[in-house]
Amino acid sequence: MNISVSLATNILNKMKEIIHQDLNYIDKQGIIIASTDPNRTGTFHAAALKCIKEKAPIIISSDDEFQGSRKGINMPIYFNNAIIGVIGITGDKNEVEKYGEIIRMMTEILIKEAWIKDSDIRTKEINRTFIERIVLGYDYDFFPTADFTFPYVIIVGKLNKNNSFLINDKIYDILKNSLSYNKNNIYTISRNEIIILYHFHKNEDISRAIFQLQEKLLEKTKLDFRFGIGIKAFEYNSLKASYKAAKEILNFMIKFSLKKPVSEYEKMDLEFIFLNLKKSDIDNFINKILKNFTPKEIEEFSFLMNSYEENNGSILHTSENLFMHKNTLQYKLNKIKQLSGYDPRQLKDFIVLSLAFKLQRTI
């Protein structure tokens, strides 16, 4: 590995702020590529070559001991167990020797941090390019990882109300921390969308994992995202359809201001009917059926109607499920009929009422 002149210069300047001595960074050919003394940049440093050859620090007692070298200490710098260069501190032995080991360690840490950051940038670009190929419907000519294997599902996240947001490292860090438990998960931020290729396992609760991600984003950034989960894909050609499905359910969630932050396309039922309807039409329908109900009554009767449906209209089983006397249940069903004009005990009326309560609960 060869480090750049700009990185070496940045490291030396940081070190000089700590020890107030001149420093040099020398490459494996013995050339000073960066120095806090500009006059030494580009010159040959013989002591550094000896340092590399012997894999040990070289202490210089006088300026004429090695060609192009001054008194001080020179330390080999390692990356992945291989020497990549030498850092030298100029000054009297007694002054600089005490700094040698700490300066060497700090330099190696800074180089590794720069390498990790650079690797993250490359990974981000590879992932973004691959995902945008899917979004645009292009054929693939590479996979982002050597062990890329299906199945996947595409998940799309947008801010509630379709607001834009600034891409920042904090969002990427949250995505990384939340999704890195599976090294096959791939994600990017593009066109005001978080797009995730989620590598799932059989019977995995995908919604729960994404809900936890949504909570973390809200907690750490105060950004209220909504996520749509597309159809499961078992081959590359199905990924575009998964993205389209995720977008459809996501746009529905945002359009109708759904309370829940995560929805799965494959778990939609009534939502399919309303994907292309105007919100005003749905609001008018709900208002027509439930206009005489108070918010408290809507909450109470919605729960009751749900239990009534689950028990196939059985008064006995519904009352048992609700821990309610049969007469009390009959009274409440009559109350629903009185307020709405629809009798929940009649199949046609029940469908209208059930739909209204479900929509009211959803939006």
CATH code for position 329:
1.10.10.2840
Of 274, 292, 316, which one is at a domain's C-terminal end? Answer: 274
pLDDT tens, position by position, 185-234: 999 998 889 999 999 998 899 999 999 999 999 999 999 999 999 999 99
- Residue 139 in domain: no
Q: What is the mean pLDDT of residues 303-327?
A: 94
Q: What is the mean pLDDT of residues 56-62?
A: 95
Structure-token pair, residue 9: 């210069």
pLDDT tens, position by position, 291-303: 999 999 999 999 9
**What radius of gyration do the chain's Cα atoms show?**
33
pLDDT tens, position by position, 167-191: 778 999 999 999 998 999 999 998 8
Q: String of b and e for 85-116 (b: at least 16 CB within 10 Å)?
A: bbbbbbbeeebbeebbeebbebbbebbeebee
Of 254, 274, 294, which one is at a domain's C-terminal end? Answer: 274
Domain match, 268 and 311 both: no
Domain match, 319 and 255 both: no
Domain match, 286 and 252 both: no
Structure-token pair, residue 4: 């750049």
Domain match, 295 and 266 both: no
Structure-token pair, residue 318: 């519904």
Overall domain count for the chain: 3
Domain match, 70 and 12 both: yes
User: What count of Cα atoms within 13 Å lies in the side-chain half-sphere of residue 136?
Assistant: 11
Does the pTM surpass 0.85? The reply is no
- Residue 287 in domain: yes
Q: What is the mean pLDDT of residues 330-349?
A: 95
Domain match, 38 and 61 both: yes
- Residue 234 in domain: yes
What pLDDT does 261 receive? 94
Domain match, 175 and 226 both: yes
Of 63, 95, 115, which one is at a domain's C-terminal end? Answer: 115
pLDDT tens, position by position, 243-285: 999 999 998 888 777 778 999 999 887 667 676 677 788 889 9
CATH code for position 11:
3.30.450.40
What range does the domain containing 308 cover? 279-362
